[in-house]
Structure 1
Amino acid sequence: MAYFSGYECNSATGSSVFFAATDAVTIVVEPADGTVLAYRPGQFLTFLFVFNGREVRRSYSFSSTPGIDRLPSVTVQRVPNGEVSRYLIDHLKVGDVVECLPPSGKFVLEDGKERTQVFVAAGSGMTPVFSLIQEALYKRSEENVVLITQNRDWDSILFRDRLRDMAGELPGRFRWMSLLSGSGSGSGASGLEGRVARLNNALLTELLDSMKIWGEDRGRRRPFFYLCGPPGFMRMAVFTLRLLGVADRDIKRENFVVEYVPPPPVLADTSPRAVVLRVEGADVQFATHWPSTILQSALDKGIALPYSCKGEGAGLVRRAVSAGGLG
């Protein structure tokens, strides 16, 4: 993949590209300089592109697992009219070199000796979950894994064949319940726990009870939950788990954030505001005003900031707020 030093951008070479499901590809990457990339299952890579003189960044989760897969890989699902996913799926070739930031992300496996690890994922949210499941099953022999997935149809399930093989290899440790929102399950679903349904509060409660994840001692050996999917799906899952008495400390979420500029309020204060950010130990000052965000204003002024998305949950903005006391 790429060798990283601090937040410098480095080159990564695509070594192979193959299909993971309908409208999705897995891209195997390796360092352009031959070094080894250190990353954890569940983390992501942020790629940098320049389209028509404009820098665009997109983050994609690792679908590979260190110690199991020889080379790192990320899986990309096509987004309608998505300029980056369309480029990666339709135009990226073996040997192409791209720039990227260091691996990042806190959606990693918790220490859970003898605890059941429960994963609830929808669509492309399966990408980091697959990486984590491989780690839990093949590198932590004492842990059991439960997976509940929501997809459109059988052909759209990411890593479908590998998941089915894993369920067959480890029937005592890995259970997979596949929910499909389409009218049919597809030709390959025989022998797999699944149904045509949409996951909701009642169904999630039913599935968790039927899969007997709670155990006799619900407090000492409580399960740990990992959630990844669209915002509405995530809100439903978190709300259900809280109603079931699951503590926030036992829930981990990976939020896929896309850039969104809200409509202007009725009365907007458009006067310029001074901003001071600490970047790599030095203070950077500039002005911003509505409707530009702090991040976008900095980028427009040529200030190189480390970011992986432009959503309101970006890690850089969180650090700036906590350090600078922005009100």
Structure 2
Amino acid sequence: MSAASLSRTAAWKDSEPLECVMVVPEAPNVATFAFRAPSGAWFDYLPGQFLTLELPVPGGSVWRTYTISSSPSRPLSISVTVKAQPGSVAGRWMLDNLKPGMKIKAVGPAGIFSTLNHPSPKHLFISAGSGITPVMSMAMYLWDLGAAPDVVLINCARRPSEIIFRERLEHMACRVPGLKLRFVVKEPDPYRVWTGYEGAFNQLMLGLMAPDYLEREVFCCGPESFMQSVRDMLNALGFDMARYHQESFQAPVATEADAPVIEDVVPDAATEAEITFESSGVTMACAQTDTVLLVARAAGLNIPSGCTFGLCGTCKIRKTAGEVHMVHNGGISDEDIAEGYILACCSNPIGRVAVEV
């Protein structure tokens, strides 16, 4: 379709069904579904927005929301990329049954998670798993503009083979120096060499991947626990959280009025706290911004330590009462945390706390 004929065609309205025209496998249990309007209408939306689809699953139709993974700079089709999570009904049905030629009802596009709503010369995209879908839309849009983008794109996945859009992103990054890709995996694929980042995404990785992160507009999407860890990380590093934006792929936000209020724990220097070192019989008053390690040293107590930024795990101790806010860099396991252990170097007391020291 020529530009002239496109200009004479109306934009798609959700009163018209979408016709599936292509299904592209992306990763294990992940596929991209491309749709066109039977009338030939073009698609007008913001990069990062979402569609809500009516899916005729067994037992009755259900409505499910999926982020658009295509870019409005390519308006002749629109795509969503779907991961069939364990136990999913709608996602599993799409991967097993949705084929080219089928038509489905869709509502939208909608959503406020978009670079166009927060213009900036420098962007930082952080995502995990299928949370990369709105990131792909925004990255492609910036790439298609023709001007050199300044984007650092960080994606976390379980294994390299599960990095969605890896080849397409690498193709884009090969052609513009301003698109920098950083991938983090929990473990390598068997019998495959992985030379990139491995482990849980943390502050140290962020500093290496995007040294100028304080200057960037941050867009984050992924599981709730992942986004919480990113917010904790940025708060601890002094990032201006007015420049942080997130989208949950479980509950996308349609309007500003629908956006949930994020109430993160941020230690306050003006708020008092107290730490009791039970084995030593010492109780010390302190501020929330003091770490357990610093308070112990002020009390003349020795907690073995090494790196002092939550990486080595040397200062691991057991907490017996109270709550701390801990932002670590991989020096403690989830199992240890569940059993009450903390890292003294990066744990801030919230109220009264007791530890076995």
Q: Decide: shared fold, TM above 0.5.
A: yes
Q: Using a 3 Å threshold, how does the CA distance of structure 1 residues 161 and 69 change in structure 2: closer, same or farther?
A: farther
Contact preservation (8 Å) 2:224, 2:248 = yes
Residue in structure 1 matched with residue 43 of structure 2 by the alignment:
37
In structure 2, the gaps of 5 or more residues are: 1-10, 260-357
**CA RMSD, 1 decimal:** 2.8
Cα shift readout 1:229-272 (whole Å, capped 9, x = no counterpart): 000000000111122222222011011226xxxxxxxxxxxxxx
Q: Which runs of 5+ in 1 are unaligned?
A: 259-308, 320-327
Q: Is the 8 A contact 1:18 1:26 kept in 2?
A: yes
Within 5 A, what are the aligned runs for 1:252-263? Answer: 252-257=245-250
Per-residue Cα deviation, 1:296-322 (whole angstroms, up to 9, x for no partner): xxxxxxxxxxxxx8xxx6769949xxx
Q: How does 1:1-327 map to 2 (within 5 A)?
A: 3-4=12-13, 9-51=15-57, 54-68=60-74, 70-110=76-116, 111-113=118-120, 115-139=121-145, 141-170=147-176, 172-184=177-189, 187=192, 194-199=196-201, 203=202, 205-214=203-212, 222-257=215-250, 318=258
Q: Deviation per CA, 1:100-141, whole angstroms, max 9, x where unpaired? A: 10201111114545x320011000001110111112233162
For residues 176 and 33 of structure 1, do their structure 2 counterparts lie closer, same or farther at Cα, with a shift above 3 Å needed? same
> What number of residue pairs does the alignment pair up?
249
Q: Could you say what secondary structure the match of 2:80 adopts? A: strand
Relative distance call for 1:148 and 1:169 in structure 2 (3 A) is same
How far off its partner does 1:184 sit?
A: 3.8
Q: Deviations over 1:10-37 (max 9, x none)?
A: 3110011111122111111011222112
Give 1:233's aligned amino acid: F
Map of 2:287 onto structure 1: none
Give the 4+ runs in structure 1 shifted more than 6 A: none
Is the alpha carbon distance of 1:212 and 1:43 closer, same or farther for their aligned partners in structure 2, counting shifts above 3 Å?
closer
Looking at structure 2, the residues matched to 112 and 140 of structure 1 have their Cα atoms a distance apart, in angstroms, of 16
- CA contact under 8 A between 1:229 and 1:255: conserved in structure 2? yes
Aligned-partner Cα distance in 1 for 2:179–2:35: 29
Deviation at 1:186, TM superposition (A): 7.0
Q: Distance in 2 between matches of 1:136 and 1:317?
A: 27
Aligned residue identity for 2:185: L
TM-score by length of 2: 0.63
Q: Which has the larger radius of gyration?
A: 2
With over 3 angstroms needed to count, the CA separation of the structure-2 counterparts of 1:138 and 1:196, relative to structure 1, is same
**Following the alignment from structure 2 to structure 1, what is the Cα–Cα distance between the partners of residues 185 and 246?**
22
- Aligned residue for 1:82, secondary structure, equals coil
1:10·1:101 contact (CA, 8 Å) conserved in 2? no
Q: In the aligned structure 1, how far is the partner of 2:245 from the partner of 2:105?
A: 29
Q: Is the 8 A contact 1:116 1:213 kept in 2?
A: no
2:128, 2:223 within 8 Å by CA — same for their partners in 1?
A: yes
Provide the TM-score with structure 1 as the length reference.
0.68
C-alpha distance in structure 2 between counterparts of 1:237 and 1:208, whole Å: 10
Question: Per-residue displacement from partner, 1:195-239 (whole Å, max 9, x unpaired)?
Answer: 22121xxx2x22332235428xx6xxx210010000000000011
Partner of 1:285: none
* 1:79 positional shift: 1.5
**Partner Cα separation in structure 2 for residue 29 and residue 206 of structure 1:** 41
Q: Per-residue CA shift, 1:11-65, capped at 9, x if unaligned?
A: 1100111111221111110112221121121111100134456441111111111
2:21–2:36 Cα contact (<8 Å) kept = yes
